[in-house]
Amino acid sequence: MADHRLRAYGALLGAQARSQAAYRASFAVDLVGNVGATVFDVVTVLVIFGVTRELGGFTLRETLVMVGLSACAFATADLLVGNVERLPAYVRTGLFDAVLLRPLGALPQLLLMDLPLRKASRAVFGLAVLLVALARAGIEWTPGRVALAVAAPLAGVVFFGSVFVATATVSFYWTESGELANSVTYGGRDFTSYPVTIFDGWFRAAFAYGMGFAFVSYQPALALLGRADPLGLPAWMGWASPTVALVAAALAATAWRVGVRHYRSTGS
Amino acid sequence: MSVIDVRELRKEFTVRVRAGRLRREKRTVAAVAGVDLRVERGELLGYIGPNGAGKSTTLKMLTGVLTPTSGQVRVCGLRPVPERTRLALRVGVVFGQRSQLWWDLPLRESFDLLRHVYRVPAAAHAARLRRCRDLLDLDAFADTPVRQLSLGQRMRGELTAALLHGPEVLFLDEPTIGLDVVSRQAVRGFLAELGRAGDTTLVLTTHDLADIERLCPRLVVIDHGRVVHDGPIAALHDRYGSRRLVVADLDTALPQPPELPGAPLLRVEADGHRLVFALESAGVADVVAALAGRAALRDVSIVEPDIEDVVARLYAGKEGPLVNASGRAGAPS
């Protein structure tokens, strides 16, 4: 049974690849263009360090670990799950009806049917940034830190993926929800590119720990670099990313399931 | 066991209506307001109603797309929403305005993909596809990307796509909408053929009553979310007193219009040169023979009752007491 399903999902993915191959030139342009956004993120941080030696108490090399974790996690999640943000369009055009009529899970179908392969370049670039940042940060490697260096970006992917799914479910209730979803997902990406110490007050509390964005890059970076949290949180928080990601995934899955039940479809 | 068993099915939507300049009021609207329906294996059911009557909403609840507000639904013995993916393997759906096909791929590739999606054994898939290819003439456009197909071609593709996994029930929502005459005939002929085979249950919503007359022995009419008629088309005619007409053109007008038993005279037209009788208990031959004995007939034509008229009257609510024409359970109006 599970094997059959995997084959079915594989077939959907293949179809998606062949469909995109129908527009070869624009695919190539997109592939290059998509790297641009992440390059811009990195350049922004470099420019900031052109005028200051520290940012929120962290050096350029330390901050770049956070940038790398954030870029790698966001770009990969955006490649795999980001297209769920087109859910309002799927609901409006009735494509979501067609998805529900097939004998497969609705969410995996939506993601595979429209997997934006052109975003792959950006995920690869994000990973490259992370690898370079880790190599240059002067980390004292221990087996635990090696495991965290692998687990943290994966947890970040799961976390951002959950945020994409959870915010998209709003469109089951409210069709014009695109901007709200963007402010959380893209806002979250920008937030995680910097040490949380540069933010302040309720905003930091809400984004970093209320929504959990601190566990994408800031906390694991502290643990990798062996630095104590200037904000005074205990050191084990740096290792909590995988747990936080699983909680986020469970919440997103619940939100999705409830949302589908509330789906109203469109006229005829 | 009925293939489709629906009891007291309701679907309510909350809509926000403007009340005053800024205030908006929540109002609950029942799109489907207590539908009861049982369909047996192999039946061909026409499900009609005016715009907004709840036809599509019902179909979407039967296929697990929408969650009912209340009531019971079983299709092939399964509950559509919780057992959606299992049900999907056993029913086929053609929504005239939704596509199950891959827009950028040749039609043939969509069929191949669906084989994987529905986990159909290769031999069964090939046999079903061969049958559809012959009946629907698919070969001419099987290698064309779906986005370049005409609506009629695409609909033939959709029909094939919905049947490749050998569904027990086929739901069709407006399958002939927007089609040209030739494609419409092809689709109808194909569905009639499928119905004759007898192992697929067909549920068809349509605005084109010719679809129903051609295909569906049983007609369910829904209005304002309720079943207002459930039975054969003939029962609908009986109920509304619609009858076949005999129109007789005479060479010379009769001084006195004849009285024929079982066929009352409805109208005299063209200065007595044309007589219109309604067929009640009398047959066409009786009427023609009786007329021929009294006058010189130039032409005789039979006018079938117009289902559109009947249904229009039904929608307008000009009806007698609600009779359950087929003896099946119908919702009280």
Q: Where are the domains of chain A?
A: 2-262
pLDDT computed for residue B87 by the predictor:
95
pLDDT tens figures, A226-244: 999 999 899 999 999 999 9
The contacts found for B153-157 with CB under 8 angstroms, 24 or more apart, are B153/B183, B154/B99, B154/B101, B155/B94, B155/B96, B155/B179, B155/B183, B155/B187, B156/B183, B156/B186, B156/B187, B156/B190, B157/B101, B157/B107, B157/B110
Give percent above pLDDT 70 in chain A: 97
pLDDT computed for residue B333 by the predictor:
35
Backbone φ, ψ for residue B74 (5° rounding)? -130, 125
Do B90 and B179 lie in one domain? The reply is yes
Query: What distance in Å separates residue A70's CA from the closest CA in chain B?
Result: 34
User: Does A4 reach chain B within 8 Å, measured CB to CB?
Assistant: yes
Query: What distance in Å separates residue B174's CA from the closest CA in chain A?
Result: 9
pLDDT computed for residue A163 by the predictor:
95
pLDDT computed for residue A266 by the predictor:
67
Kindly give, in sequence order, each residue whose CB lies less than 8 Å from that of residue A197, ignoring residues fewer than 6 positions away: A56, A57, A58, A230, A231
Which residues in chain A have Cβ-Cβ distances shorter than 8 Å to B75?
A: none
Residue B191 lies in a domain: yes
Q: Which of A10, A103, A265 sits opposite B89 (nearest CB)?
A: A103
The residue to which tokens 């959990």 are assigned: A212
Beta partners for residue B260, in sequence order: B263
Do B248 and B234 lie in one domain? The reply is no
Window 136-155 of B, Cβ < 8 Å to A: 145
Do B152 and B261 lie in one domain? The reply is no
Window 166-225 of A, Cβ < 8 Å to B: none
pLDDT computed for residue A3 by the predictor:
75
Give percent above pLDDT 90 in chain A: 46
Q: Which of B84, B98, B105 sits opposite A94 (nearest CB)?
A: B98
Question: Hey, is A37 helix, strand or coil?
Answer: helix
CB contact under 8 A, A8 and B100: no
User: Does A18 reach chain B within 8 Å, measured CB to CB?
Assistant: yes
Residue B320 lies in a domain: no
Q: Who has greater pLDDT, A104 or A178?
A: A104
Do B186 and B281 lie in one domain? The reply is no
Do B84 and B214 lie in one domain? The reply is yes
The mean-pLDDT minimum among A52-61, A150-159, A172-181, B78-87 falls in: A172-181
Which ipTM value was assigned to this complex? Answer: 0.78
Domain that holds residue B278: 243-304
Beta partners for residue B18, in sequence order: B24
Question: Hey, is B296 helix, strand or coil?
Answer: coil
The whole-angstrom separation of Cα B326 and Cα B324 is 6
Q: Which of A94, A101, A261 sits opposite B93 (nearest CB)?
A: A101
Which residues in chain A have Cβ-Cβ distances shorter than 8 Å to B86?
A: 103
CB contact under 8 A, A268 and B173: yes
User: Does A268 reach chain B within 8 Å, measured CB to CB?
Assistant: yes
CB contact under 8 A, B113 and A12: yes
Question: Are the C-beta atoms of A94 and B97 separated by less than 8 Å?
Answer: yes
Residue B96 lies in a domain: yes
CB contact under 8 A, A18 and B55: no
Residue B321 lies in a domain: no
CB contact under 8 A, A103 and B85: yes
pLDDT computed for residue A268 by the predictor:
46
Question: Hey, is A200 helix, strand or coil?
Answer: coil
Q: Which two tokens stand for residue A3?
A: 């094997």
B168: domain CATH number is 3.40.50.300
Residue B135 lies in a domain: yes
Query: How far does Cα B202 stand from its chain's mean position?
Result: 9
Do B280 and B160 lie in one domain? The reply is no
| Mean pLDDT calculated for residue range A107-113 | 88
pLDDT computed for residue B317 by the predictor:
64
Residue B130 lies in a domain: yes
Kindly give, in sequence order, each residue whose CB lies less than 8 Å from that of residue B118, ignoring residues fewer than 6 positions away: A102, A103, B88, B89, B164, B165
Domain ends where: B238, B262, B295?
B238
Give the number of C-alpha atoms closer than 13 A to the C-alpha of residue B86, restricted to the C-beta side.
Answer: 10
Distance (Å) of CA B102 to CA A23, A25, B69, B152, B157: 15, 20, 33, 16, 11
Band (pLDDT 50/70/90 cuts) for residue A178 is: low
Do B116 and B166 lie in one domain? The reply is yes
User: Does B85 reach chain A within 8 Å, measured CB to CB?
Assistant: yes
Residue B228 lies in a domain: yes
pLDDT tens figures, A26-84: 777 887 877 777 788 788 888 888 888 888 889 999 999 999 999 999 999 999 998 88
Do B19 and B82 lie in one domain? The reply is yes
Residue A161 has pLDDT above 90, yes or no: yes
User: Does A100 reach chain B within 8 Å, measured CB to CB?
Assistant: yes
Structural domains of chain B, count: 2
Residue B29 lies in a domain: yes
Low-confidence residues in chain B, pLDDT < 50: 319-333
User: Does A103 reach chain B within 8 Å, measured CB to CB?
Assistant: yes
pLDDT computed for residue B4 by the predictor:
95
Kindly give, in sequence order, each residue whose CB lies less than 8 Å from that of residue A171, ignoring residues fewer than 6 positions away: A87, A88, A91, A177, A178, A181
**Nearest residue to A5 via CA among B117, B91, B167:** B117
- DSSP states of B146-213 as a string? GGGS-HHHHHHHHHHHHHTT--SEEEEESTTTT--HHHHHHHHHHHHHHHHH-SSEEEEE-S-HHHHH
Q: Using only the alpha carbons of chain A, give its radius of gyration.
A: 19
- DSSP states of A44-69 as a string? HHHHHHHH-S-BTTB-HHHHHHHHHH
Burial class (CB in 10 A: 0-12, 13-18, 19+), A61: middle
Phi-psi region of B147 (alpha: psi -120 to 50; beta: other; left: phi over 0): alpha
Q: Which of B13, B84, B95, B147 to mutate to test the interface with A (most CBs of A within 10 A)?
A: B84
pLDDT tens figures, A194-212: 999 999 889 899 889 999 9
User: Does B54 reach chain A within 8 Å, measured CB to CB?
Assistant: no
Beta partners for residue B274, in sequence order: B249, B269
Burial class (CB in 10 A: 0-12, 13-18, 19+), A40: exposed
User: Does B86 reach chain A within 8 Å, measured CB to CB?
Assistant: yes
Residue A267 has pLDDT above 70, yes or no: no
The whole-angstrom separation of Cα A61 and Cα A63 is 5
Band (pLDDT 50/70/90 cuts) for residue A224 is: very high
Query: What distance in Å separates residue A13's CA from the closest CA in chain B?
Result: 10
* Element spanning A21, H or E: helix A2-21
DSSP state of B106: B
Distance (Å) of CA B166 to CA A140, A200, B129, B169, B194: 62, 61, 10, 9, 11
Pairing of strands B265-269, B274-278: antiparallel
User: Does A17 reach chain B within 8 Å, measured CB to CB?
Assistant: no
Query: How far does Cα A246 stand from its chain's mean position?
Result: 14
User: Does A248 reach chain B within 8 Å, measured CB to CB?
Assistant: no
The whole-angstrom separation of Cα A86 and Cα B123 is 37
Beta partners for residue A132, in sequence order: none
- DSSP states of A126-190 as a string? HHHHHHHHHHHTT----HHHHHHHHHHHHHHHHHHHHHHHHHHGGGGT-TT-HHHHHHHHHHHHH
